[in-house]
Amino acid sequence: MTVLSIRTTEDQRGGTHVPPRLLAAIAAIRAFRPALRHGPFLLALVGGALLRWTAVRAYPHGLWFTGDSYFYLGYALHPEPPASKTLGYSLLLRLLEPLHSLTAIVIVQHLMGLGIAVMVYAVLCRARLPAWAAAIVTLPILYDAYQIELEHLLMSEALFTFLIAAALTLLLWGDRPGPAWWMALPAGLLLGYAVLVRSAGAPLIPVVLLLLLLFRRDKPPRLLPRLLPRARPDLRPALAFGALAAVPLVAYALWFHAERGTYGLTTSDGIYLWGRTAGFADCAKMRPPPDEQGLCLDAEAKAEQDPPGHLIWRADIPPRQRFASVVSPEANATLRSFSIHAILAQPGDYLRTIADGIGMAFATGRHPHPTAATEGLYHFPDTPQLFPGGRSWTGRGTALSDAMRYGRTDEPSRVVQPQAGHMIRYQERYYLPGPALGVLFALGGAGVLVARRRRREVLLAWGTATTLLVFPIASADFDYRYVVPPMPFACLAVGLGLSAFRARGTGPEPGAAGGEGETAERNVSRWWGSRGSRHRDSDPATVP
């Protein structure tokens, strides 16, 4: 028997002898083996990156959403707080302006999309979900065609979703129940800035604050006592999160006041909420105060059943007939008050409109809502986009001149074949249908009820997804671009729920305090030694 033989031999001390080179080789293999478990996700990530690169080659200057894309780009060139939208996304565009490249914008947004999948995967692996299962959970994020198309639009959704994903990753990262206060600090800052990217994220801050308070330990919470186990009180994460979330919001409100004379982020929530309630608001039931009289639609206008997302832009609606500007502070306050009165007087009708919007999100087919032209903007086109004439939203230049100036190009909209045809055919086949999205939400909700060991974490992810889906529908209208951002967090909730079942009966989390910290060589030696001892005990020649 040679020294390099795999079989063990008795040394002079009566123990087992492992050749040093063989021990080192086995240790290296065992040390590298954990990395191999990430192979399925890495392959999926490469596939998602190739799809996005095909989209960049097909539409090198991005895709344009009529109205909103022109708005964001115009205010990136001329930054001042507008009344209708917050400028968090325009600030990113301004940061990228020195590159003078529309292609750079879509590449950054696609990297954000890939980053969301990486963060979801990392959190699930940290939660001890098997790597192959975590990779499966990220597939809708990586391969949904509408996710890729929305990342390619010059719109705020990619940045908005990325910021929320980064905040939740910080809040869910750690070895103890609940985040550390120093992790909650940057999470609050990220989520506060996300609200400036899209004001529809505003309810996330109180929702996350409430859930952080439910992470308290040692005293059973009064809310949902059976759903949430006992915990010891620690208010520091909630206080740290709330303090840092307020920083970007307060700074923007001060800027808004300096330019427009009133504190706020926008003065347009009133007209959007009026559009949400106008279809059912009945002044005979509401009995609005005198300053709100005349804001109800007449019977003929209601019979048209014009969706709120289209209705609010019509010149013949009562708010535009009454106010010189529907986004003035006075008009905004009046329209908001009118809408609240309508909701309080007719809560059943209001809930039905929300349920109809959620039903469209989970429906089998896609509806032409709010208009067929709007829904068509969420599909990869086969021809370049035509830019409208007239002044831009900022009042300086036109939408076309802004795009040409920003990108230093004469063709701000390009379609390159055959790559565009590949993306069009891909989108026709590969996307997450509405019923599948409904199943994700249902599984996440079930996880909140049954995943006892990770109930708070599942509730945080599922609550985020539900808030992102319901709030835009409740405050404005259903739109298919509002359905895409909740999807990664619904996937995350499902993955965390599955990880809770795997965590049953297991020891400390990897890397947690009190866990094993042995090196690969010690593991190999212990494993080899145990094999050798069993061999000796069972070998008749070693029995005295």
Peptide bond into 412 cis (omega under 30): no
Show the tokens assigned to 272.
């959007």
Nearest to 394 by CA among 63, 80, 101, 69: 80
Any residues with CB less than 8 A from the CB of 68 and at least 6 apart, and which?
Answer: 85, 155, 156
Question: What proportion of the chain, given as a percentage, has pLDDT over 70?
Answer: 83
CA distances for 94 relative to 74, 88, 445, angstroms: 10, 10, 40
pLDDT at 523: 44
pLDDT tier, 16 (very low <50, low <70, confident <90, very high otherwise): low
Q: What pLDDT, on a 0 to 100 scale, did the predictor assign at position 533? A: 41
Tokens matching residue 454: 């990770």
Name the E strands within 43-85.
Answer: none
- What proportion of the chain, given as a percentage, has pLDDT over 90? 68
Give one DSSP letter per residue of 262-292, joined into a string.
S-SS-S-HHHHHHHHHHTT--HHHH---GGG
Mean pLDDT in the chain? 85
Tell me the one-letter amino acid at 420: A
Give the relative orientation of helices 181-197 and 88-96 as an angle to the nearest 10 degrees. Answer: 90
Helices assigned H by DSSP within 198-235: 204-213
pLDDT of 535 higher than 60: no
Q: With contact defined as beta carbons under 8 Å apart, do 268 and 85 qualify?
A: yes
> Where residue 61 falls among pLDDT bands split at 50, 70, 90?
very high
pLDDT confidence of residue 28: 65
Q: At what angle do helices 347-361 and 329-345 cross, to 10 degrees?
A: 100
| Pair type for strands 16-17 and 9-10 | antiparallel
Among 131, 129, 175, 34, smallest CA distance to 502 is for 129
Instruction: Answer whether 486's CB lies under 8 Å from 468's CB.
Output: yes
Max CA separation in the chain (angstroms): 105
What string of DSSP letters covers 117-179?
Answer: HHHHHHHHHHTT--HHHHHHHTHHHHH-HHHHHHHHBSSSHHHHHHHHHHHHHHHH-SSSSS-
The 3-state secondary structure of 291-309, one letter per residue: HHCCCCCCHHHHHCCCCHH
pLDDT at 164: 97
Handedness of CA 38, 40, 41, 42 (dihedral sign): positive
φ, ψ of residue 283 in degrees (nearest 5): -65, -25
| pLDDT number for residue 179 | 84
Q: Do 256 and 264 meet the contact criterion of CB atoms below 8 Å apart?
A: yes
pLDDT at 526 over 60: no
Tokens coding 113: 């999309």
Beta bridge partners of 232: 217
Q: Which residue has the higher pLDDT, 176 or 260?
A: 260
Report which residue type is found at 451.
A
Strand, coil or helix: 261: coil
The predicted pLDDT at position 178 comes to 75
Q: Is 327:84 a contact under the CB 8 Å cutoff?
A: yes
Question: Does residue 287 have a pLDDT over 50?
Answer: yes
Q: Binning pLDDT at 50, 70 and 90, where does residue 256 land?
A: very high
Q: What is the mean pLDDT of residues 11-31?
A: 64
Q: What is the DSSP letter of 16?
A: E
Q: Sorting pLDDT into bands at 50, 70 and 90, what band is 232?
A: low
CA atoms of 9 and 18, how far apart (whole Å) = 8
The candidate with the shortest Cα–Cα distance to 444, out of 460, 433, 431, 432, is 460
> What contacts 298, CB < 8 A, 6 or more positions away?
none
DSSP 58: H
Phi (first) and psi of residue 227, to 5 degrees: -85, -30
| pLDDT one-digit tens code per residue, 27-56 | 766 666 666 788 899 999 999 999 999 999
Reported confidence tier of residue 450, pLDDT bands at 50, 70, 90: confident
Q: Which of 218, 182, 173 is nearest to 510 (CA)?
A: 173
pLDDT at 216 over 70: no
Q: Which of 214-223, 311-320, 395-404 bottoms out in mean pLDDT, i.e. has the lowest? A: 214-223
CA-based nearest residue to 160, from 85, 212, 109, 98: 109
Tokens 């409109």 correspond to what residue? 353
- Structure-token match 């507008």, residue found: 82
5 torsion bin: left (phi>0), alpha (psi -120 to 50), beta (else): beta
Mean pLDDT for the stretch of residues 71-84: 93
Q: Which two tokens stand for residue 537?
A: 């005990």
For the cut 60, the answer to whether the pLDDT of residue 200 exceeds it is yes
Q: What is the pLDDT of residue 393?
A: 72
Are 371 and 314 in contact by the 8 Å Cβ rule? The answer is no
